[in-house]
Structure 1
Amino acid sequence: MMKASVSRRLPAGRSGRSQTRDPQPDVCPDPRSPCPMLATGFVIISLLLFVEVALSLSQMRKLQGRLAQVVEEYNVRGELAQEMHKTSRERAILLHAMISTDDSFERDDLYVELRALGSRFLTAREQIASMALGDDERELLDRQGELSRAAGSLQYRVIDLLTEERIEEAKRVLLQEAIPAQDRALSLVQEFANLQQSHNQQALAATSEEFRQADRLLLIIGGVTLLLSALVAAFVLQRTKGMMSALSSSNAELRDARERLEERVAERTAELRRLNEKLLSEINERRSAERKLAFMATHDDLTKLPNRALFNEHLQHAMARAQRAKTRLALFFVDLDGFKGINDTLGHEAGDQVLREVASRLKSGVRAQDLVARLGGDEFTLLLEDIDHPANAATLAAKVIELVSRPIALADQMHEVGASIGIAFYPDDAEDLDALIRSADDAMYVVKRAGKGDYGFHQTPKPAPAISNIPFQW
């Protein structure tokens, strides 16, 4: 019944715990709440940051490419213009050297160099002409080409005069016509180089302006991003405050619910503890009662000695041990002399007192491993294992008779009882339990008929008690 009571109360505890469990507050319980706006703001900021980074990288690559192109074109055109200027100067020097030398072979070598310089000049000019030029650059290059062709014609005229050995006329044409014509052509080359530098500066200025425009665009995007970030941060802060307030309120409710739950758990725990203590007490009482019942079933209620059932069980086991070990055991059947007179004259209480005193004396007179039992009335039995000689049994029997015969105080008077003991041995006198008990009982009745107050054996002649040098002692 107690277990059923406990099991009925446990579901109530679980029910109480489940009822006090509060649901967790939802951050965005309503789809119309500002949470979608918050998510949208974060998405927009992320997109703006992505666009800003992408534009920055794109503009950076574009401007770097443009700047590299401007620098490369300027360097190439400058080198080609420098090549044209250099070859023109060197041609003039070679012409002057051809006029100054009288060696025809040297003059031929100088002529070969002159033609090579002319080829280099034309190659540089053609490369410039193949580039993307503005109208003013193209016009200037065309004018320079006309002057270069005119100067070239005059230079070849000087060479022809030298071939004809008209040295003085060749000098005059060189100094008065060819060199001034070449200077005019070179002045246009320098003007072309200056124009190239001007265009390069303009391209660099345009590139710088593109840089500034890109910076302004990125600043605008960055400003918008910062503004949106500030708005989102303000919204998050406001929303967080609201959430913290809601969480604080929810936490307070949770604390109250937890306290109520703890109180209920404490109450249920105390109740269960009381029930468990009561249940344990009942279990202990039941176990104690079971032990008492078991003791009462196997022991004599008056003397607390083993009764006939327990004695028979011990005797059966002792006989089995003796059989395995090839040893001898002795069974004493003790019957009190004079007990009936005390019980009839002084009453049952006095008789019970005598039985308790005799039981105590019998237990004190045997070894710890020996068994003393009461079969009923004034009949007792003693079971002694490992008896190697009948004289040892005789010694114990004499001691038991002496102990039992001592006076007992009853109703302020001293009274005496005696003991008649029959002794049987296993396996000498019998090989089964009932036969062994009958043998000891028969030996006891023989003693009774012979005059009481003595001991006797079933078949073995009565030996003298063991002397002191025999190792079996009580």
Structure 2
Amino acid sequence: MFGWRRKEVLARPITQLMFPQGLPCSDDQVPLICNAKRSDGSELPVEIRNKTLVIDGKQRSSLFIHDITDRQQLERLRDKEAREDALTKLPNRRALNEHLPQAMARARRSQKPCAVLFLDLDGFKAVNDRHGHAVGDYLLREIAKRLKASIRETDYVARWAGDEFVVVLEGMNPDASQSTAQMLVEATEKPMTMGEAILQVSTSVGVALYLPHATESAHEVLKRADVAMYEAKHSGKAQVRIAKPADTISLNPIKDEHDSDHSYHPGR
């Protein structure tokens, strides 16, 4: 486990071999997780269970040291899967809900606004109905790739639900965010083929600008972008609409029935 040969470790203290910073304090009842040193100098994540013994009037410790490398890798994988959309491999709604408040905090710290773009595909249901869900899934994967390829490396795109996506642009002025939104519309509209099928959809985009001095929450910013997206859709689709400033509208929580208006297939 640690790569030591028997003759190398005899008569040498465990702190010198595995814990050069000193043996971690451990409670008899609670296992301790820390890093131990291997013979080649690399670190090994371990769980230590300690049992205190009294032998000939002297206190001793019995240590059970367990390699938890596989466990930690599995935990990281589960954590990633919990925040990743299974179909498009984009961050999912949970990941976005964690990312957006952080982006807003950076906007306040840098005094540079960020923009939230809410996208809803136009014509996706028709593709699903005509060609089936397998083709619809292919289309969503391709749209996800196009969106990611159309924004900066520092920007963020997530799948919100079904055929809805959210893009977060940091350090963007209003004009630049609107032109980026228009670029996403154009990228989405380009036809794609799957076998003999020619697939084409468009997208309606709502843009909400978050200003560093604003007091609104991440949920409220998303709601403004969502409302603006519906305005774009009702105005003829394949359009971009800028949300009204936060202090000019009444912000209510995003309604649960919002998802029922679209084909919502989480993780599909």
- For the aligned pair, the TM-score class normalised by the smaller chain equals 0.5 to 0.7
Q: In the alignment, residue 234 of structure 2 is paired with which amino acid?
A: R
Q: 2:114 aligns with which of 307, 329, 333?
A: 329
> What does 1:110-189 correspond to in 2, within 5 Å?
none
Identity of aligned residues (%): 41
Tell me, yes or no, if structure 1 residue 353 matches structure 2 residue 112.
Answer: no
What is the CA deviation profile of residues 106-156 of structure 1, one whole-angstrom value per residue up to 9, with x for unaligned ones?
xxxxxxxxxxxxxxxxxxxxxxxxxxxxxxxxxxxxxxxxxxxxxxxxxxx
Letter in 2 for 1:396: T
| 1:455 pairs with one of 240, 243, 249 | 240
SS at 1:302 equivalent:
coil
Residue matched to 1:403: 187
Distance 2:113 2:142 in 1: 30
Residues 430 and 421 from structure 1, CA distance in 2 versus in 1: closer, same or farther, beyond 3 angstroms? farther
Measured after TM superposition, the shift of residue 429 of structure 1 is 7.5
Query: Aligned equivalents of 2:200 and 2:234: distance in 1?
Result: 20
Distance, in Å, in 1 between the alignment partners of 2:194 and 2:130 is: 11
Distance in 1, matches of 2:77 and 2:205, equals: 32
1:390 aligns with 2:182: no
SS at match of 1:350: helix
Q: 2:200 aligns with which of 409, 416, 419?
A: 416
Mapped partners of 1:459, 1:381: distance in 2: 18
Which structure would you say has the larger Rg?
1
Q: How does the TM-score come out when normalised to structure 2?
A: 0.63
CA RMSD of aligned residues (A): 2.1
Distance 1:429 1:445, change over 3 A: farther
Q: Deviations over 1:13-68 (max 9, x none)?
A: xxxxxxxxxxxxxxxxxxxxxxxxxxxxxxxxxxxxxxxxxxxxxxxxxxxxxxxx
Q: Which has the higher helix share?
A: 1
Give structure 2 stretches of 5+ with no counterpart. 1-66, 246-268
Distance in 1, matches of 2:105 and 2:177, equals 20
Gapped regions of structure 1 (runs ≥ 5): 1-281, 461-474
Distance in 1 separating the partners of 2:91 and 2:185: 21
Counterpart mapping for 1:87-98 below 5 A: none
Match of 1:403, as an amino acid?
A: A
Deviation at 1:371, TM superposition (A): 0.4
1:306-335 deviation line (CA, Å, top 9, x unaligned) = 111111111101111111222210000000
Verify: 1:298 aligned to 2:95, yes or no.
no
Distance 1:324 1:285 in 2: 38
- Determine if the alignment matches structure 1 residue 319 to structure 2 residue 107: no
2 CA distance for matches of 1:406 and 1:340? 17
Letter in 1 for 2:188: V
Aligned 1:223-234 pairs, distance under 5 A = none
> CA separation in 2, counterparts of 1:429 and 1:339?
35
Contact 1:420–1:454 (8 Å) recurs in 2? yes
Determine helix, strand or coil for the equivalent of 1:436.
helix
Q: The residue matched to 2:184 in structure 1 has which SS? A: helix
CA distance in 2, matches of 1:385, 1:409: 33
Letter in 2 for 1:310: A
Alpha-carbon contact 1:336-1:379 (below 8 Å) kept: yes
2:154 aligns to what SS in structure 1? coil
Q: How many residues are matched?
A: 180
Secondary structure of 1:374's counterpart equals strand
Looking at both structures, which has the greater relative contact order when contacts are Cα pairs under 8 Å and sequence separation is at least 6?
Answer: 2
Alpha-carbon distance in 2 for matches of 1:424, 1:434 = 12
| 1:225-264 matches, cutoff 5 A | none
CA distance in 2, matches of 1:439, 1:355: 24
CA distance in 2, matches of 1:394, 1:299: 27
Tell me the distance in 2 between the aligned counterparts of 1:412 and 1:307. 31
CA contact (8 A) 1:430 1:436 kept: no
Conserved 8 A contact 2:139-2:199? no
Q: Structure 2 vs 1, CA of residues 429 and 324 (structure 1 numbering), >3 Å: closer, same or farther?
A: closer
C-alpha offsets along residues 339-381 of structure 1, whole Å, 9 cap, x if unaligned? Answer: 0111122111111101100000000000000000001100100
Structure with bigger strand share is: 2
8 A contact 1:429–1:459 mirrored in 2: no
CA-to-aligned-CA distance 1:197-247 (integer Å, 9 cap, x gap): xxxxxxxxxxxxxxxxxxxxxxxxxxxxxxxxxxxxxxxxxxxxxxxxxxx
Decide whether aligned partners of structure 1 residues 341 and 314 sit closer, same or farther in structure 2, where only a CA change above 3 A counts: same
Task: Give the CA deviation at 1:305.
Answer: 0.6
